[in-house]
Amino acid sequence: MKLLQLLGPLTLSFALAAAGCGDDNDNGNNNGNGDDLEDVIPGDGDDNGNGEGIKRLGMIMVEQSTFMGGDPSVSADAVFWSMSEGLPDDMLDQPLGEADSCTVLDIQEPGDIPGGLPDVDIEFTFIDAGEQIELDAGGDRFATLEREELTGSGGSLIAYTLDEPVSGTLPDGLTATVPGNEFPAFEDVAMPTVAAFELDAPAPNDPITPDTTFTWEASNDDNATVTLDFSAGGVFVTCTAADDGSFSIPQETRDELPDSFEGNLTGAARQSYRVERDGDAALILQTATSQDVGLPF
């Protein structure tokens, strides 16, 4: 599993727990037993770790998107965790993980309803990184992410969000500043630059079948990947592709799809990552640009 695939459902499950929707015995942490973390995210080669592993982890995510032919806008979020055990330092020095792969969720099948967490022997706890996360460009304030805390029977969820998306496109030279608290401070760290993304094929309204080939203009960013989402009925598919300009659905994914699968494109985006380090803390910086796919039906 990729690190980001672990943290996504973790955030969702913890949010449900904080809202009182989880198991009464669930403290919001992942107490599972199972597989080791294997796949990784790219780093910039500047590993300032102290040999203790990664015990605090932060993510700042910025995305430019458009919808139904409207004007582009930029959204952003941030979240920070501490871990009961350190993740290996070299997780941040290796490639993004297995590209050209897909996950299939069939909510028509009993027992395949989303909500479970990956099995890892690590507890995650949301931590404070200060009152605001600042995004700047060219010496001017671009956006401010305000701290929000949601507390319920399952514990507390701390996240940093925008009041509303910022109108316009991603600015050049975007940087982020984390004031620090339980998570350390980072000042004016550079967000990745990501080229605009649009599929050459298929067109947004073309049906997606197991034989569909996706094509686009590749970028020159070794850390960039492309995410493709499509669905039909109760079957949802997410594919991660190397940003090399072409992707075909792998045979193992085809084997999971129902007979005569014909779906709709629900998302298409390019994203890139870089990592900053401070002792046992790692800050993942993610920038994405998504295509306007219109209504998913």
219: alpha, beta or left, given left = phi > 0 and alpha = psi -120 to 50?
beta
pLDDT of residue 117: 42
Say how many C-beta atoms besides its own lie within 10 A of residue 143's C-beta.
21
Q: 295 or 179: which carries more pLDDT confidence?
A: 179
When mean pLDDT is compared over 69-73, 104-108, 269-273, the highest value belongs to 269-273
Task: Please tell me whether residue 63 adopts helix, strand or coil conformation.
Answer: strand
Q: What is the pLDDT of residue 98?
A: 63
In this predicted structure, what is the pLDDT of residue 252?
A: 94
pLDDT one-digit tens code per residue, 29-39? 433 333 333 33
Q: Which range (2-11, 45-54, 68-77, 280-289) has the least confidence?
A: 2-11
pTM recorded for the entire structure:
0.78
Considering only CA atoms, give the Rg of the chain.
19
Decide if 275 contacts 282 (C-beta within 8 A). Answer: yes
Element (H, E) at 226: strand 224-232
Query: Is 243's pLDDT higher than 80?
Result: yes
Q: Which helix (H) or strand (E) holds 236?
A: strand 235-242
Start-to-end Cα distance in the chain: 30
Rounded to whole angstroms, what are the CA distances from 45 to 3, 11, 181, 276, 279? 18, 27, 26, 9, 15
Q: Which residue has the higher pLDDT, 147 or 18?
A: 147
Question: Which helix (H) or strand (E) covers residue 252, if one does?
Answer: helix 251-256
3-state SS class at 85 = strand
Res 296: pLDDT: 52
Contact 12, 124 (CB under 8 A): no
Instruction: Note the Cα 265 to chain centre separation in Å.
Output: 19
Q: Which residue has the higher pLDDT, 227 or 23?
A: 227
- Phi, then psi, of 174 in degrees rounded to 5: -70, 130
Can you point out the beta strands (E) in 101-154? 101-106, 124-126, 132-137, 140-152
CB 202 within 8 A of CB 212: yes
Residue with the bigger pLDDT between 94 and 265: it is 265
| Element at 251 (helix H, strand E) | helix 251-256
